[in-house]
Structure 1
């Protein structure tokens, strides 16, 4: 049996797909691994070194002078720089400029006359002939070889943040209707543009295509002013879910109509003509024939629209507000990160939490995605 020889084009396509998969998978895998690492190791080394021992410079604050004990006329402060965690000290120093001046087991003379000794396992001993004074412990500078450490504390910190549950529900309340409403409206409009005849159809389609290139940032403020004006006339609050649903519907409709129209226009004409001969109206054709056949295209757009609305922060802040009861999940996590400075462990855990729901949506609908994207390339006979 002769093996089938792959064409050069097929090989190039397969390699390109493999490259794209790797480029998309590696950042996600790195984000997940980083979110599970110890916060000190995140700063010290990259996620690709997570399974190996890492070498890092560290600063340890010794216990305060109140913890000193007297042994044969010598005042001693002792402890372990790893505080119960695993690790090996490879070098230590008495100031930040020379953190590796001494080897483990050596005794370093300090400026105040005291002596510092650190063992390889992290045990240290500071001794002096005079009593230690002050309220804070001295800093110990050392270089350590630390084995891999993984923890769920990063997720516990994020998930137990105040208001996170409310923000999660706010994001769902925004994303789900903002995905369903544009699909319902766009499906009717796409059928009309594909199979119904009316004056100005070509012009309307050209306008929809033109709206695809309108930047969100340029149209956001005019849209907000128009919404506030209409809302004031009808007594609708300026901030609320209705405004953000309408905003996402307006921004998502051009792409939805364009994609669905191309798909519906590629459906076999014989089915439509047979239904009309049997006396079916346009509404019956749409609901009983077109809509069931359009599930792949509808699911494809639903994935993109949900991803956009779930990760959106700008539109949510403008139309919903930034109060504790209105803040969406992305805004809450941004505030959490900002209040904690540059804590990378919070950033990685927060980022992975935000993508869990979109990943579930994507894998739940991904079997329709390829069918929807390839729809229209081959028309029915």
Structure 2
């Protein structure tokens, strides 16, 4: 009989491969967003982020020098120049053409026969020669279609353009002003409530727990307008202005409390009963037990909820527009980037850089607290023997 075998079962390999696939599925979009945000805007417009490390090709339409710059040589009127220098491009030309239907009909160095006995030659470095027996007329140069291959270009200009946009710094501060209190306040309230629902016996406790579970399924969009009307009514009674940070703090606290109470109550209720009973025997009050025992032991659950709440509030736009408004001194980061994209939404480089800027802070919070996430989410899922 063989025991203690170190070989893994096929099921374990399937589990590991499944987890790896899920990690890749969640990580690849973030990597693609970052790579796109540091690419040259011209390359970003014609190729995907997965080609960022390779040379890219694109078809370009250029023009020769003006006919007034023609020279007469060997019985022909000649237009000469460098199409890459004229267009401000860099790279190597792979093919060219003189018709829009065939932009890459000829290889570099070949002579293309055009109408009216015209001939065109384009070299890989962009230099060209166009000749014809008769004198060139007109005011514009002749069109040159060419395929250019450019090496990978990475730049921080996209971030400079976004970060130097007017009002972006104030919006960043506004987002922090909204997010930090909207994360801390529900955690404090939910921690006290969770301890009461887990370890204090009072009439109606089971009903309150059922109400908390029921509130988890209430859509934010359905309760947003009633909550706004209630806040405006109470605010007008006490003389509180409508569009203030207090309103959005209370809104995010109300929307985040059900999940916070649910997570923390499950975690706190599974803490060892012996520790709490020993503290009571020593004469500790509920407040002392909560502050000195429950809070330190509940840090994984607190951190797991803090991650979710921070991400929700930081990425929020709807609640911020309703409770805070769109004034210049109160606009949050998501609102500022939305306005920027509204006027320049066709600029992919602005879109990718803006999107990555919005996730930098949440990523920092997540990686700081992620080791507590699984422990907090699995709280209460396994009963002790």
Q: Same fold (TM over 0.5)?
A: yes
Q: Name 2:350's counterpart in structure 1.
A: 346
- Measured after TM superposition, the shift of residue 68 of structure 1 is 5.4
Within the candidate set 102, 107, 118, 1:103 is matched to 107
Residues 328 and 111 (structure 1 numbering): CA distance in 2 closer, same or farther, change over 3 Å?
A: farther
* Superposed CA offset, 1:306-355 (max 9, x none): 01111111111111112222221112112222211322111111111111
Q: Name 2:35's counterpart in structure 1.
A: 33
- Measured after TM superposition, the shift of residue 280 of structure 1 is 1.2
Distance 1:205 1:377 in 2: 17
Residues 138 and 157 (structure 1 numbering): CA distance in 2 closer, same or farther, change over 3 Å?
A: farther
Give runs of aligned pairs for residues 101-180 of structure 1, distance below 5 A.
Answer: 101-106=105-110, 117-125=121-129, 129-130=135-136, 132-133=138-139, 140-180=144-184
Matched, 1:290 2:294: yes
Distance 2:164 2:354 in 1: 12
Give runs of aligned pairs for residues 264-303 of structure 1, distance below 5 A.
Answer: 264-303=268-307
* Superposed CA offset, 1:74-119 (max 9, x none): 5746333365654222222334333223332345577899865432
Contact in 1 for aligned 2:70/2:136 (Cα 8 Å): no
Distance 2:159 2:220 in 1: 33
Q: Name 2:48's counterpart in structure 1.
A: 46
Q: Which moved more, 1:336-345 or 1:221-230?
A: 336-345
Distance 1:252 1:13 in 2: 33
- Measured after TM superposition, the shift of residue 7 of structure 1 is 3.4
Contact in 2 for aligned 1:93/1:100 (Cα 8 Å): yes
Give runs of aligned pairs for residues 49-60 of structure 1, distance below 5 A.
Answer: 49-60=51-62
Residues 245 and 131 (structure 1 numbering): CA distance in 2 closer, same or farther, change over 3 Å?
A: same
Contact in 2 for aligned 1:99/1:141 (Cα 8 Å): yes
* Superposed CA offset, 1:269-313 (max 9, x none): 111111111111111111111011111100010011101111111
Contact in 2 for aligned 1:81/1:124 (Cα 8 Å): no
Distance 1:309 1:153 in 2: 29
Residues 380 and 280 (structure 1 numbering): CA distance in 2 closer, same or farther, change over 3 Å?
A: farther
Matched, 1:92 2:96: yes
Residues 17 and 63 (structure 1 numbering): CA distance in 2 closer, same or farther, change over 3 Å?
A: same
Matched, 1:69 2:69: yes
Q: Name 1:232's counterpart in structure 2.
A: 236
- Measured after TM superposition, the shift of residue 131 of structure 1 is 5.1
Distance 1:111 1:342 in 2: 38
Residues 91 and 273 (structure 1 numbering): CA distance in 2 closer, same or farther, change over 3 Å?
A: same
Residues 234 and 115 (structure 1 numbering): CA distance in 2 closer, same or farther, change over 3 Å?
A: farther
Within the candidate set 7, 12, 15, 1:13 is matched to 15
Within the candidate set 332, 336, 339, 1:328 is matched to 332
Distance 1:345 1:75 in 2: 40
Residues 334 and 95 (structure 1 numbering): CA distance in 2 closer, same or farther, change over 3 Å?
A: farther
Question: TM-score, normalised on structure 1?
Answer: 0.90
Residues 112 and 299 (structure 1 numbering): CA distance in 2 closer, same or farther, change over 3 Å?
A: farther
Q: Which moved more, 1:220-229 or 1:1-10?
A: 1-10
Within the candidate set 175, 183, 193, 1:189 is matched to 193
Question: TM-score, normalised on structure 2?
Answer: 0.89
Distance 1:115 1:230 in 2: 82
Distance 1:113 1:329 in 2: 61
Give the gaps of 5 or more residues in structure 1.
none
C-alpha RMSD over aligned residues: 2.6
Residues 359 and 99 (structure 1 numbering): CA distance in 2 closer, same or farther, change over 3 Å?
A: same
Q: Name 2:265's counterpart in structure 1.
A: 261
Q: Which moved more, 1:145-154 or 1:277-286?
A: 145-154
3-state DSSP of counterpart to 2:109: coil
Q: Name 1:80's counterpart in structure 2.
A: 83
Give the gaps of 5 or more residues in structure 2.
none
